[in-house]
Structure 1
Amino acid sequence: MIDLISLFFLSFHTFAAVIGITLNGIVLFLALFRTPKTIAAYTTILINFAITDFLACFTDFFIQMRHIPAGFTMAYMSRGLCTLVGPHFCYLIYSINLGFVAHGLWSLLLGFSYRYYILFHPAPTRKMLIIAIMLISIPSIIQITFLWADDDADEMKRILMDRFPEYELQNATICGTINIMEFSAMFTILHMTCPITPVYITIWILRKKIIQKLVSNSKDMSAKTKEMHKQLFEG
């Protein structure tokens, strides 16, 4: 019988993943087939973000991970469909999921940077935007080293059972890292946590500056330019 905490995590992951998959599927469809010509170049960023977020939600639904820290050991208990294959497969999908989540954060920053950039310069070409997307994906690609932090599943389960004897882990799908201080794990942890606050502060500053610029120059802008910026903010 499933316990209340596990039921909560299962329900939360399922609900969030289904909503995310649905909404990003809609955004992707609109970006591909219903994009106004005034923001055609921005579609490249929008498609990148929609695909990234869609895959992040899909992989999360597939793994439904619960984190269990134990000192310098970090364990992950999965209740998703990946359990039908095994713990190492769950860890593989989780590593891919983290890459999508991290890339989504940088993609969000790129979107606001683009909106600010075009206030002062001509809109960059689609090729330039693709290059920018490739550049911001580098840290997430480096995160592939996280795969080397996948330690023996039986040993991970033994550590957790010794540390938390009250947990029912005998039939659980457990994977994780025995020592998170190793580079393969630590780089991913730092990349997933440290940029969050600076990135969102930067986004807030950019958004404020964009609005100020639009308000101050609203009288001098053509109707086409106003419509473009309006659609960018709606996007």
Structure 2
Amino acid sequence: MSICSLLGILLNLTLLFLAIFKSPETIKAYSAILINVSVYNIISSITQFLTKARLIRLDNYIVVVSNGFCNASETTVCYTLFAFMLHAFSHVQWCTLLSFIFSYIVLRSGKIGWNTISLLLLLIYTPSVIQFIAFLLPSDHLNPHKIIGTTPLSSFAIFYTVFNMSVTPIPIIIAVFIIRFKCIQFLSENNQHLQEDTRKLHKQFIKSITFQAIYPTLFAVSGLIFLILQSYDRSAIVFEFSIFIIFALMPVISPLVYIVFIAPYRKTILTLTKCQKTK
């Protein structure tokens, strides 16, 4: 998981650079979403590296165990980092849906303002903030070595977190593919009215965010694993770690998709790579 976390930080720093400095004019406004995605992926990678958490079921409680560097600090620091990590993952998931909404609005109206993007980002950030606050408030912070906190299974924090990170991915995936269909339909119907470069860029863009649908899909899988974990009287170690192995892969997959499928980003990386080889 440490390797994935470090790789996630590196790839998302690369995406952050590309989004700020190498975004073509046609998707310039979208760079605000990409900056959000890369920043929160970096946050999730750093916090995961520091906590190296696992979940254990103990009677009617979920116990959060840390094997990371944050153990050197107070227990509340580890637990706060853990809650912040979950909220960062949640926000990136909602950004996937916003990506398609952005694409559809741009296709229909031709442009979208920065104020609109900022408002939409604030709106989709709300569920993640609520999750972060809810996850902190009812928790009992323990301090026997690596145990950083416990939360009752019946608590609002667990219910809301499971709902936000395991149930909402399903309607998000459905919405993503509905909007994707409408975007492709619009491109087909207006094929002759769009410039070739614009049409190609939109197709590449739609392809990249289609692959981003793997993000909420992985959330749904991790949610299923969490539910399986609850069906055991005692925790199965394979399930305890598998949730966070999936989480570790998410910040690696997400920037790779954008870098590979958005041509200006891909060309920039290839150009930089060639320059390094010639040196």
Corresponding position of 2:199: 226
Corresponding position of 2:134: 145
Corresponding position of 1:6: none
2:179 to 177, 192, 206: 206
Q: Distance in 2 between matches of 1:201 and 1:176?
A: 35
More helix by share: 2
Deviation at 1:224, TM superposition (A): 4.5
Corresponding position of 1:66: 54
Task: Report 1:186-197 matches (<5 A).
Answer: 186-197=159-170
Pair 231,47 (structure 1): closer, same or farther in 2 beyond 3 Å: farther
2:109 to 116, 121, 130: 121
Deviation at 1:228, TM superposition (A): 3.8
Asked whether the 8 Å contact 2:53–2:68 carries over to 1, the reply is: yes
Deviation at 1:231, TM superposition (A): 5.0
Deviates more, 1:195-204 or 1:208-217: 208-217
Corresponding position of 1:84: 72
2:149 to 168, 173, 176: 176
Deviation at 1:83, TM superposition (A): 0.8
Asked whether the 8 Å contact 1:86–1:173 carries over to 2, the reply is: no
Q: Distance in 2 between matches of 1:126 and 1:69?
A: 45
Identity of aligned residues (%): 31
Secondary structure, counterpart of 1:120 in structure 2: helix
Asked whether the 8 Å contact 2:97–2:172 carries over to 1, the reply is: yes
After superposition, the C-alpha distances for 1:45-95 in whole angstroms (9 at most, x for unaligned) are 111111111111111111111111234200111111111113321111001
Q: How many residues align?
A: 207
Q: Distance in 1 between matches of 2:117 and 2:93?
A: 16
Deviates more, 1:219-228 or 1:116-125: 219-228
Which letter maps to 2:135?
F
Q: Distance in 2 between matches of 1:15 and 1:63?
A: 14
Which letter maps to 2:149?
G
TM-score by length of 2: 0.69
* 1:26 maps to 2:14: yes
Q: Distance in 1 between matches of 2:176 and 2:113?
A: 22
Q: Distance in 1 between matches of 2:104 and 2:141?
A: 48
Deviation at 1:189, TM superposition (A): 2.6
Deviates more, 1:34-43 or 1:179-188: 179-188
2:36 to 38, 41, 48: 48
The unaligned stretches of length 5 or more in structure 1 are 1-12, 158-171
Which letter maps to 2:193?
D
Deviates more, 1:61-70 or 1:186-195: 186-195
* 1:15 maps to 2:3: yes
Deviation at 1:227, TM superposition (A): 4.2
Asked whether the 8 Å contact 2:151–2:158 carries over to 1, the reply is: no
Secondary structure, counterpart of 2:192 in structure 1: coil
The unaligned stretches of length 5 or more in structure 2 are 207-260, 263-279
Asked whether the 8 Å contact 1:72–1:180 carries over to 2, the reply is: yes
Secondary structure, counterpart of 2:84 in structure 1: helix
**Runs ≥4 in structure 1, deviation > 3 angstroms?**
none
Across the aligned residues of Structure 1 and Structure 2, the Cα RMSD in angstroms comes to 1.9
Pair 100,214 (structure 1): closer, same or farther in 2 beyond 3 Å: same
